[in-house]
Amino acid sequence: MAFPKVLTTDQAAALIPDGAVVTVSSSSGLGCPDATLAAIGKRFEETGHPRNLTTLHPIAAGDMWGIKGVDHIAKPGLLARILGGSYPSGPSSAEPPAIWKMITSNEIPAYNIPSGILFDMHREAAAKRPGVLTKIGMDTFADPARQGCAMNAKAAEEPVVRKIEFDGDDWLYFKAIVPQVAIIRATTADERGNLSYEHEGGYLGPLDQALSVRNNGGIVIAQVKRLAKSGTIKPQQVLVPGILVDAIVVVPDQMQTTHTVYEPAISGEIFRPLSSFEVPEFGVSKVIARRVAQELRYGDAVNIGFGISANVPRILIEEGRHGDVTWVIEQGAVGGVPLLDFQFGCASNAEAIMQSPYQFTYFQGAGFDASLLSFLQIDRQGNVNVSKLGVRPHVTAGAGGFIDITARAKRIIFSGFFTAAAGLAIENGALAITREGKVRKLVNDVEHVSFSGSRAVTQGQDITYISERCVMKLTAEGILVTEIAPGVNLERDVLAQAEFPLKVAGDLKVMDAVLFQPGVIGLDIGGGRADV
């Protein structure tokens, strides 16, 4: 092969043929090759090419906060099919992204495939193996017995997964999809195409994506911040070697992540003082996060997701317990402090940053100790929905790594509000419900099964649900209320607000009163004390 060429974004866009399968490395704004995607959209507007692309997005490309990502190419005629682990998401009051309009209007087949499985599909394509045989996604919307990952009617007509019998057991089979083009991103490329990631908040999966394309004779385009002389990047710093890269596009002003041009603590170049991290203000959300923190065990490796539980690391900082557990997130950070809001998916002060495909292997095999996640809905079987809200689809990003993480996790603590839009306050150390929520979140049947309660029971997983009103456990007989908040009426505020009967523990407890008081609570998660 020839050495890579340094091209403009327009020249790089011209390399993409009609009908190509294109894989894009990104996680919302993190690592998004936004300028290259914009050039593809611009070329299509000007020339009508490339046409009929299929795109693969193990994690979402772009967001609703200024980095358009996939929306640059979400144009009729340009995009023919999309397979994503997640999609851009944002507030219900905002205009839906163009990609969501295409999905909900059934313009193109669209699929929500668990992120880890999509990365696995790339590895299988790279090794020229037939596809992925897995139990991840069984009895969830990824299972063909339910939606089979289809997001609309057109996708349902063209299945991407089927259930097969192998070696005396049932498995989900995802056929490998061979990409012809990879669009990846890095910080630095040298003249021979070697890529390093010193300013990035995560590697994501560019190596696996580049391998899947290179091994099948395709084109790898790398968008970078800067170009360096050959031989000036140390070999230990090269993640993607130049032998896998065809074209280099230099974009000096590429964003590190959403609303962040560059913050060295995100890429591990400096460590922030713990005092620089804001702790949550006292209120109902903080009470829930505190109660979640009480479920932690000293020395655990703990996965953390978006929502209320994302504040738990700040609770530990406030309580002087930072370092008692090690946080692990799907974008690759191990340790440190997972960040919030626009920087979610990044961490400051990380101990290590893994490539996302290998982080997902760790999750799929349940090598970690616990996961802290959110819920949109819970049903009578203990199923959880986080991936679909039919009336406002762009509010959710889809499953992302949720299914990979929860499929075999030893312990899962789901958190959220018991009903939606309730009036809540803390008065005199007790919960006050000033207005009941308009929408029940404990429903007979969830809209989308992102997590299978029945499978969790069969596998012996330890499942806890924590809200502002109560703590519940998943049992073989149903969902059991084990604790209620001070100030809560069990019948009126809990049992009557669920669409299905809840069981009540014979030794029902009241949640620790200290949770409902301002100031530190003296959190004790057992074991020794880590250095802070």
Active site positions, annotated: 330
Nearest Cα to 497, choosing from 414, 426, 421, 428?
421
Q: Which residues pair with 463 in a beta bridge?
A: 412
Distance from C-alpha of 65 to C-alpha of 255, rounded to nearest angstrom: 12
Q: How many CA atoms lie within 13 A of 373 on its CB side?
A: 29
Q: How far apart are CA 33 and CA 26, in angstroms?
A: 7
Q: Which helix (H) or strand (E) holds 425?
A: strand 423-427
Local structure of 93: helix, strand or coil: coil
Q: How far apart are CA 348 and CA 271, in angstroms?
A: 7
Q: Which of 388, 416, 377, 389 is nearest to 498 (CA)?
A: 377
Q: How many angstroms separate the CA atoms of 459 and 408, rounded?
A: 8
Q: Which two tokens stand for residue 403?
A: 């299914």
Backbone φ and ψ for 65, nearest 5 degrees, come out as -125, 25
In this structure, what token pair is assigned to residue 315? 């609770």
Q: How far apart are CA 147 and CA 106, in angstroms?
A: 15
Residues forming a β-bridge with 174: 132, 161
Handedness of CA 209, 215, 218, 222 (dihedral sign): positive
Rounded to a whole number of angstroms, the distance between the first and last alpha carbons of the chain is 51
Q: What phi and psi, each to the nearest 5 degrees, are found at residue 126?
A: -65, -40
For residue 226 the two structure tokens come to: 């800067």
| Percent of residues in the chain assigned helix, strand, coil, to nearest 5 | 25, 30, 50
